[in-house]
Structure 1
């Protein structure tokens, strides 16, 4: 019997609730950057293109609007966002067993059917790469964000997740609009088996897609991940870039869907929270508990989840 070819699927797309922002459909004329000169001195840096500058202006306005409405919270949840074990069970099932998008079909919505539990079984080794357009200062800041968050994910999941060790298998690409060709070339190197639909995901990102992560199951496997690629737009202001890091790395670990009922959570398209919350840490802790096996169905996992949450009050499980 032939081994099944590996199919790349989108695990997560960060979509801002732009309909509620009441922002114009594009940059205003006053914000439109002036055209660059047609000739530049040899060896000089032309700087970001007009398209990249316009995108940066647009995302800065999106962030300002969201913050003005009390969204993109960084407090992780508090007294105003209580949740129970019943909420955790419901939200875990909806986020861990479903997909936003149909694997291998670009931006086509999923069928809405539950699948098997997905997770990494081997170490996750994260590597950060940058497009040529990304400044050294921004690179240093983004490396710190990824390193700090990786340490948090390792602590929460109790799974080996690290940066700068061994051969990387989770690639985080910070690329700008001017780095499209570089990004596609790198993705082809990292995933030579990726088909046209997968490459189109990265090539044709509309500006409503702020960042994304795609992962491939192992050879002959449907439910374990040996490799993932996240793409984060370099034009984002700092908080939105950090928010993308938090959401895409967590979704790349196996929490693939968003659910409107999840609160406080980044796995929710309402943009209330920018960063991983206490609720989300519980989902990751459950996902990487050794009693939950890749491929489990919701019916198989449900009694285990209940037992783990019931026992949690007595100490580590």
Structure 2
């Protein structure tokens, strides 16, 4: 870690198995990016997958089938059964945007809800998509189309400038199978120079029930994000992979926490909804409303958030 510059990261883990969970935590010790990241390596898309990767595909297909059979992973965005009020929306915003679910300790991550500050991007977000060598061409095409479409939606909802494929990207979406991910340490170090071991290990030592994650970095403890890296497991079936894209990219914008009371929402551990909902679009609009200042405390942001929530409930999402 540089003696002059420190950098902390939001760590968001979207996990679902028998007990799905999402965790967020600030992770210390990394250096800011000092030069544009190198271009992605040129890799063939016909590399053979290992038995371990194929076994993960079977496992995640079973997980998705089970969730869908139980009426979860909904894609309808909510309906009459999930009505909410402006009071609920404002409360959910404070809980999701202004709290961390996990904190970093000397022994690792600890589940301890902790009040935080409002964090988001102030600079334009330039997304890039990288696939591992073992991800086939047809999946790469589907992923690129769905991620680009979703980024366009996020830009429209937030009013914040975003693009896919621009020069000097600062938000890297990595779609990797297990064989690709295990060898991605050098590439991750190139994307995030000075990345600390805690963040690196979070990326490389991912348990099976962690479906995806995002690391969002900012310099010197600033609440302004400067770069992010999202990991999407390539072994997921299409719906689960898309659900990971929706959750991790949105959390990487600054909606860092989950709340069991948030409904209809992807920011909830129950996996009821797979894709960004109308409720979640309103949260993103609130997050990037200029009446809220990056770095605000919960006490400062809450009354403004309540005012914005009331206005939005009267007009609906943009």
**Which stretch has the larger CA shift, 116-125 or 91-100?**
91-100
Structure 1 CA distance for aligned equivalents of residues 317 and 310 of structure 2: 11
> How far apart are residue 46 of structure 1 and its match?
6.7
Aligned residue runs from structure 1 range 212-223, under 5 A: 212-218=213-219, 220-223=220-223
> How far apart are residue 8 of structure 1 and its match?
2.7
Counterpart of 1:31 in structure 2 is none
Aligned residue runs from structure 1 range 89-168, under 5 A: 89-102=90-103, 108-168=109-169
Distance of aligned partners of 1:59 and 1:297 in 2 relative to their CA distance in 1, 3 Å threshold = same
Counterpart of 1:14 in structure 2 is 14
Aligned alpha-carbon RMSD (Å): 2.1
Structure 2 CA distance for aligned equivalents of residues 236 and 199 of structure 1: 22
Counterpart of 1:63 in structure 2 is 64
Task: Give the 3-state SS of the residue equivalent to 1:109 in structure 2.
Answer: strand
Aligned residue runs from structure 1 range 206-285, under 5 A: 206-218=207-219, 220-285=220-285
Distance of aligned partners of 1:104 and 1:180 in 2 relative to their CA distance in 1, 3 Å threshold = farther
1:169 aligned onto 2:170: yes
> How far apart are residue 221 of structure 1 and its match?
4.1
Structure 1 CA distance for aligned equivalents of residues 107 and 90 of structure 2: 29
Structure 1 CA distance for aligned equivalents of residues 120 and 106 of structure 2: 21
Which has a greater percent of strand?
Answer: 2
Does structure 2 conserve the Cα–Cα contact (< 8 Å) formed by 1:131 and 1:176? Answer: yes
Structure 1 CA distance for aligned equivalents of residues 273 and 13 of structure 2: 15
> How far apart are residue 167 of structure 1 and its match?
1.6
Does structure 2 conserve the Cα–Cα contact (< 8 Å) formed by 1:17 and 1:271? Answer: no
Structure 2 CA distance for aligned equivalents of residues 59 and 184 of structure 1: 24
> How far apart are residue 311 of structure 1 and its match?
3.3
Deviation string 1:261-308 (CA, Å, 9 cap, x unpaired) is 100000001010000000000000000001111110111111211222
Structure 1 CA distance for aligned equivalents of residues 105 and 225 of structure 2: 15
Q: Which runs of 5+ in 2 are unaligned?
A: 21-45
> How far apart are residue 99 of structure 1 and its match?
1.6
TM-score, normalised with respect to structure 2: 0.86
Give 1 or 2 for the bigger CA radius of gyration. 1
Deviation string 1:196-245 (CA, Å, 9 cap, x unpaired) is 11111011100110000001112x34201010000011000000000000
1:184 aligned onto 2:193: no
Task: Give the 3-state SS of the residue equivalent to 2:80 in structure 1.
Answer: coil
The number of residue pairs the alignment matches comes to 291
Does structure 1 conserve the Cα–Cα contact (< 8 Å) formed by 2:118 and 2:296? Answer: yes
> How far apart are residue 58 of structure 1 and its match?
0.2
Structure 2 CA distance for aligned equivalents of residues 14 and 174 of structure 1: 15
**Which stretch has the larger CA shift, 276-285 or 180-189?**
180-189
Does structure 1 conserve the Cα–Cα contact (< 8 Å) formed by 2:47 and 2:134? Answer: no
Task: Give the 3-state SS of the residue equivalent to 1:91 in structure 2.
Answer: helix
> How far apart are residue 62 of structure 1 and its match?
0.3
Structure 2 CA distance for aligned equivalents of residues 182 and 67 of structure 1: 32
Counterpart of 2:75 in structure 1 is 74
Distance of aligned partners of 1:314 and 1:280 in 2 relative to their CA distance in 1, 3 Å threshold = closer
